[in-house]
Amino acid sequence: MHIPDGYLSPATVAVAYGAAAPFWYQASKRVKETLRGQSAPLVALFAAFSFTIQMFNIPVPGGTTAHAVGGTLIAVVLGPWAAVVGVSTALVIQALFFGDGGITAIGANCLNMAIALPLTGYVAYRLLAGRSPSPRRRALAAAVGSYLGINVAALLAGLELGVQPLLWSEGGRALYNPYGLDVTLPAMLLVHLTLAGFAEAALTGLGVAFLLRSQPALFVADPALISRAGLGRAGWSLVAVLGAMVVLSPIGLLATGGADFEWGAVELEGMLGYVPNGLARLADSWQMAPLGDYQVAGLGPDASFVQQAPAYILSAVVGVAMIFALVFAARMALTRSTSSAQRD
């Protein structure tokens, strides 16, 4: 679901950034108290969890792949605005350092996966869970909400991609993504209504059930009060789970093929007989990703699993470390600003 550079026109990119900006602004205001408090490590843990789970590619019939996101899980536990910040952080790091998703498309990818997904999932969760839900009902409501959330994200991605040839073409050829709504919507929704959606639901439902049993204090009525909860046993259990996921991340390499609408220029030329001009101009907008495709330089696409696995684990370690560094840097900056304000 990571839209690469070149698949969206500059106008679509601008609209997506504009649509995402108010949510980023509101989220940055709402999570300040959480980041100042003792739960900053939990924010980092869940954001790192989202980053890592996206490395576990799921094989899809037709030779493509998909993945879960974990946005609704963060929203249910830490609140929807923490989910916006956490998943956005993961997506930006993926684009900048791993070439997963385009730089120009960060706004669209965040709008889909870091905003629409967790907010939809959270609203559905609250409606389905009710005011005094049992643990079982909470877990089930979270699972259903996450299923709806990831499919709303897929729908938005399909719409964004599918309108490109309708709005921007030249000489009868598309300038950006060449496939219309009749292709993009079925392709995106079929994958996520089936395998990816159920993977997201299972991940979220089981995660909520585990946390309800191990640290129910996290599930407070007011997400702002989450700052009162420390890392706790559940947090350290999550550290262990995250570590295991990092070690096991090369499992994601076993799913052959790439995701739909993430093809490179060479692949597109083989499929279409040409490369859309606009896509070709923007496709190389960012060439500075040090661990592109979660691999080290010089390791070709024909490398064996044994050769790729260490680099994949290294990428997971680097991504997780960067998320923790960013979250704790934000915490330190907020703490200093609060101290300065109190002295004044």
Question: What's the CA angle centered on 152, arms 191 and 13, to 5 degrees?
Answer: 100
Extract the tokens encoding 111.
């709008």
Domain definitions of the chain by residue range: 10-343
pLDDT at 48 over 60: yes
Q: What tens digit of pLDDT does each residue of 285-339 get?
A: 898 999 999 999 877 767 889 999 999 999 999 999 999 999 989 888 877 765 5
Cα–Cα distance between 205 and 34 in angstroms, integer? 24
CA atoms lying within 13 Å on the CB side of residue 218: 30
Beta bridge partners of 60: 64
Output the pTM of the full model. 0.93
C-alpha 84/C-alpha 109 separation (Å) is 12
pLDDT, residue 330, reads 86
Number of Cβ atoms within 10 Å of the Cβ of 283: 20
The string of pLDDT tens digits covering residues 79-111 is 999 999 999 999 999 999 999 999 999 999 999
Q: Long-range contacts made by residues 221-224, C-beta under 8 angstroms, separation at least 24?
A: 223/34, 223/78, 223/79, 223/80, 223/81, 223/82, 224/30, 224/33, 224/34, 224/79
**Of 56, 120, 47, 49, the residue nearest 89 (C-alpha):** 47
Residue 229, pLDDT score: 47
Return the SS3 of 65: strand
Q: Best-predicted range by mean pLDDT among 36-50, 136-150, 228-242, 323-337?
A: 136-150
The lowest-confidence range among 62-76, 106-120, 179-193, 223-237 is 223-237
* pLDDT for res 12: 98
Reported as a single tens digit per residue, the pLDDT across 143-160 is 999 999 999 999 999 999
10-343 classified as CATH 1.10.1760.20: yes
3-state secondary structure of 297: coil
The alpha carbon of 276 is separated from its chain's Cα centroid by a whole number of angstroms, namely: 27
Whether the CB-CB separation of 261 and 270 falls below 8 Å is answered with no
Q: Which residues are paired to 59 by β-bridges?
A: 65
Q: Among 210, 79, 72, 197, which residue's Cα sits nearest to residue 135? A: 210
